[in-house]
A = this chain, B = another copy of it.
Amino acid sequence: MCRIAAYAGPAIPLENIIICPRHSLLEQSQHATEAKLAVNGDGFGIAWYGEGGDPGLYRDVLPAWADENLTSLCRMVRSRLFLSHVRASTVGGTSRQNCHPFKHGRWTFMHNGQVPHFPQIRRALEQALPDELYAARQGTTDSEMVFLTLLAHGLDTDPEAAMTRTLAALGAGPAPVKLTCVFSNGHDVFAFRHASHGKAPTLYVSGPLDNGGRAFASEPLDGGAWDVVPENQIVTLGKPAVSQAA
């Protein structure tokens, strides 16, 4: 279980979401309150978009709270759209390649949840990828695989359909599949919560912040107005406003 936060709106310093709020992502990395694991110390990552072109990516295997570079970057770098993630790995080694967000072209993706039967389906999922996406695989996580499968199934043109097809590709296993993910193409930020059984990992969407921007977060960042992101539908933060599509 990990913690995630994302923002879209007028450009702000990254620290306004990641560090400064009372219950910022950095705070959640040490004191998460709505997760089984209170600590998310197995690496972190940020993807942020500038005026155009590909997003920047900054990931490391240290706990977020131990990285002095992160503090500096979050203070200096401003962005109109960014994703951030702190990781609590359940299995496997800690490497930058396994840290979220993942990036492919203009797309970025991060995930909180698990596909418990992933070891059984990993090979088939990888075989099903087109060559370009197969070659793009860098790590060994189920999360990166979900991202590449979404891309293979048309994330670029129809996120809803891509998600439906990806869930079908994951199939069912003995334990529930849980996916709470946030992803972006640089224009919009998409969020999706799903659990095949039981409850999906938490995700909230803010009302308009002081500057008109909006945010997603695993746990509300402050005492403002935060709504639970509904399950099984893609919620979008975009330039116009928040739209919801079933």
User: A189 within 8 Å of B by Cβ?
Assistant: no
* Chain B residues, Cβ within 8 Å of A77: 56, 76-77
Q: Of B39, B41, B56, B68, which is within 8 A of A93 by CB? A: B68
Binds B, one of A4-12, A58-66, A143-151, A161-169: A58-66
Chain A, 72-85, contact with B by CB distance < 8 Å: what is the 0/1 string? 11011100000000
CA distance A48 to B76 in the complex (A): 9
Q: A56 to chain B: closest CB distance in Å?
A: 4
Chain A, 115-139, contact with B by CB distance < 8 Å: what is the 0/1 string? 0000100110001000100110010
User: A35 within 8 Å of B by Cβ?
Assistant: no
CA distance A63 to B60 in the complex (A): 13
Q: Of B48, B73, B96, which is within 8 A of A95 by CB? A: B96
User: A142 within 8 Å of B by Cβ?
Assistant: no
Q: Of B50, B62, B76, which is within 8 A of A61 by CB? A: B62
Given A68-B96, A96-B93, A135-B119: A56 and B41 within 8 A (CB)?
no
Contact between chains at B59 and A62 (CB < 8 Å) = no
Contact between chains at A58 and B72 (CB < 8 Å) = yes
Given A48-B76, A96-B95, A138-B93: A58 and B63 within 8 A (CB)?
no
User: A42 within 8 Å of B by Cβ?
Assistant: yes
Q: Of B73, B94, B97, B131, which is within 8 A of A62 by CB? A: B94
What is the chain B residue whose CB lies nearest that of A74? B56
Question: Which of A59, A89, A95 counts the most B-chain CB atoms under 10 A from its CB?
Answer: A95
* Chain B residues, Cβ within 8 Å of A57: 68-69, 72
Q: Which residues of A are in contact with B by a Cβ distance under 8 Å?
A: 30, 38-39, 41-42, 48, 50, 54-63, 66, 68-69, 72-73, 75-77, 89, 93-97, 119, 122-123, 127, 131, 134-135, 138, 140
